[in-house]
């Protein structure tokens, strides 16, 4: 069992080829829920355990390993304007390589994450921007160093259906893969174009 003195839960686990077990969830420490990462051996003995406090707390919901046994985890963290997606990569000893966040709306969460052999990371979850939307993000990691996060900004649209980049540039012609904003009636909607 894991007891940090408050409410603690584990939500997902993955087993490495050598039998080690990696888990994610949350631990309540003081006033905050913190994303928790745990590594155990095949007998259940805890080898490493760490918590991550970002913003006003958070939880981990999805965890995976790549072929080099790097650990990927996702969930959410709380901020004054709502919950947002948190994702991270760590070594097999749970030392953080990078962590980053995604602001989609006001109630966002990552539930599944996986890295591919080419340095890309895929995150599945949901976000709230007027309604709950299913999200799938492909995050490219230049040089395998860190993710690019997309922060929502508000823009003035002159014509319905025009597509804009997150930094406000209007797209002419067919947009390349990426995250964009489009106006539908009075609603500003974030879209992702995949090819």
Evaluate if residue 71 carries a pLDDT over 90: yes
Identify the weakest region by mean pLDDT among 19-28, 63-72, 78-87, 151-160: 151-160
Share of the chain above pLDDT 70, in %: 70
Q: 97 or 25: which carries more pLDDT confidence?
A: 25
Confidence of residue 38 (pLDDT cuts 50, 70, 90): very high
How far is Cα 58 from Cα 28, in angstroms, rounded to an integer? 10
HSE on the CB side for 12, CA within 13 Å?
A: 21
Please give the pLDDT value at position 17. Answer: 94
Please give the pLDDT value at position 159. Answer: 46
Confidence of residue 176 (pLDDT cuts 50, 70, 90): low
Evaluate if residue 30 carries a pLDDT over 90: no
For residue 9, the surrounding DSSP H or E stretch is strand 8-15
Which structural domains are found in the chain, ordered by start?
A: 8-151 (2.130.10.10), 153-195 (no CATH)
How far is Cα 32 from Cα 95, in angstroms, rounded to an integer? 21
How far is Cα 84 from Cα 78, in angstroms, rounded to an integer? 6
Evaluate if residue 40 carries a pLDDT over 50: yes
Instruction: Please provide the average confidence, as pLDDT, over all residues in the chain.
Output: 76
Which token pair is 114? 């996986």
Q: What is the mean pLDDT of residues 35-40?
A: 93
- Cβ(48)–Cβ(93) below 8 Å: yes
**pTM for the whole structure:** 0.70
Please give the pLDDT value at position 167. Answer: 60
Q: 186 or 73: which carries more pLDDT confidence?
A: 73
- Cβ(177)–Cβ(195) below 8 Å: yes
| Residue entry with tokens 């921007």 | 129
Q: What Å distances lie between residue 141 and 14, 68, 70, 107, 190, CA to CA?
A: 23, 16, 14, 25, 21
Confidence of residue 153 (pLDDT cuts 50, 70, 90): very low
Please give the pLDDT value at position 142. Answer: 44
How far is Cα 39 from Cα 161, in angstroms, rounded to an integer? 48
Q: What is the mean pLDDT of residues 159-187?
A: 63
Q: What is the mean pLDDT of residues 112-135?
A: 79
Please give the pLDDT value at position 162. Answer: 66
């Amino acid at each position: 069992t894991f007891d940090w003195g408050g409410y603690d839960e584990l939500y997902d686990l993955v087993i490495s080829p050598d039998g080690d077990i990696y888990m994610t969830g949350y631990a309540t420490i003081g006033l905050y829920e913190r994303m928790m990462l745990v590594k155990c051996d095949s007998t259940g003995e805890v080898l490493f355990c760490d918590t991550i406090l970002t913003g006003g707390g958070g939880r981990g919901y999805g965890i995976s390993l790549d072929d080099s046994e790097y650990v990927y985890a996702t969930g959410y963290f709380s901020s004054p304007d709502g919950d947002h997606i948190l994702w991270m990569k760590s070594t097999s000893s749970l030392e953080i390589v990078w962590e980053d966040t995604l602001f989609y709306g006001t109630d966002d969460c990552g539930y599944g994450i996986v890295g591919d052999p080419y340095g890309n990371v895929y995150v599945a979850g949901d976000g709230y921007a007027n309604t709950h939307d299913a999200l799938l993000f492909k995050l490219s990691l230049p040089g395998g160093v860190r993710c690019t996060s997309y922060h929502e900004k508000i823009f003035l649209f002159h014509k319905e259906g025009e597509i804009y980049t997150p930094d406000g540039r209007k797209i002419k012609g067919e947009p390349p893969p990426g995250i964009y904003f489009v106006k539908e009636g009075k609603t500003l909607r974030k879209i992702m174009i995949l090819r």
